[in-house]
C-alpha cells in the first residue's frame, strides 16, 4: 500500500481528491476529521503530532483550532456563492443618464465619478455593466489620431542624412 492509501492504485479507501474540481476549489476536509483534530488539540496534544497522526497539514490543524475557539465549531465556511450586483436601482439610473449625456468620458472616469458618490466599484464592474446594457463607449480620451507612419512624410532627420536639405 502506498502512503496515500491506494493499494496497487486499483481502488481507494478515501474519496478525498477523487472528485474533479478546478484547482482553486479544493474539497474541504470532513467535519469528522476536523472535530477529531480539534478534540486532540483541546486534550493537550501538540498541533504537529495531531497533524502527523491524521496526515493533514499543520496549518490546517492550527486554523481548525482557531476557528473552534472563535466560533465553537471547526466546520468549514461556505464555499463560493452569489455576489449581488452593485450597479442597480438609483446607481444604474444615474449611470445610464451619465452615459446618455454624451460628454467625453472613459470607463475609468465613470469609476472615479461613482467613487465620488460613495459607490466603490472596479473598472471591470463598470465594463460589465456597459457590456450588459449593450452600450457603445469611447475607449480613449478624445485626441488627435496618430497618423500612420507609412503615410506620413519622411522626418527632417532622414532628409538631413540623405543630403536633400
How far is CA 25 from its chain centroid?
12
Question: pLDDT tens digit string along 130-146?
Answer: 888 888 765 565 556 66
What torsion, rounded to 10 degrees, do the Cα atoms 16, 18, 24, 30 define? -20
Angstrom distance (rounded) from CA 51 to CA 56 = 5
Distances (CA, A) of 7 to 14, 27, 49, 113, 133: 11, 23, 25, 62, 56
pTM over 0.85: no
pLDDT (0 to 100) of residue 140: 60
Contact between 98 and 110 (Cβ < 8 Å): yes
Supply 105's cell numbers: 468620458
Question: pLDDT tens digit string along 64-79?
Answer: 999 999 999 999 888 7
So where are the chain's domains?
29-76, 90-132
Amino acid at each position: 500500500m502506498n502512503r496515500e492509501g491506494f493499494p496497487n492504485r486499483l481502488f481507494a479507501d478515501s474519496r478525498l481528491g477523487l472528485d474533479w474540481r478546478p484547482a482553486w476549489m479544493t474539497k474541504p476536509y470532513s467535519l469528522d476529521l476536523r472535530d477529531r483534530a480539534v478534540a486532540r488539540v483541546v486534550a493537550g496534544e501538540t498541533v504537529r503530532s495531531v497533524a502527523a497522526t491524521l496526515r493533514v497539514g499543520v496549518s490546517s490543524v492550527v486554523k481548525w483550532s482557531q476557528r473552534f475557539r472563535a466560533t465553537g465549531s471547526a466546520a468549514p465556511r461556505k464555499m463560493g456563492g452569489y455576489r449581488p450586483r452593485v450597479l442597480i436601482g438609483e446607481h444604474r439610473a444615474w449611470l445610464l443618464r451619465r452615459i446618455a449625456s454624451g460628454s467625453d468620458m472613459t470607463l475609468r472616469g465613470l469609476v472615479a465619478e461613482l467613487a465620488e458618490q460613495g459607490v466603490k466599484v472596479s473598472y471591470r464592474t463598470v465594463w460589465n455593466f456597459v457590456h450588459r446594457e449593450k452600450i457603445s463607449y469611447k475607449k480613449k480620451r478624445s485626441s488627435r489620431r496618430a497618423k500612420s507612419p507609412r503615410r506620413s512624410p519622411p522626418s527632417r532627420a532622414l532628409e538631413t542624412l540623405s543630403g536633400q536639405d
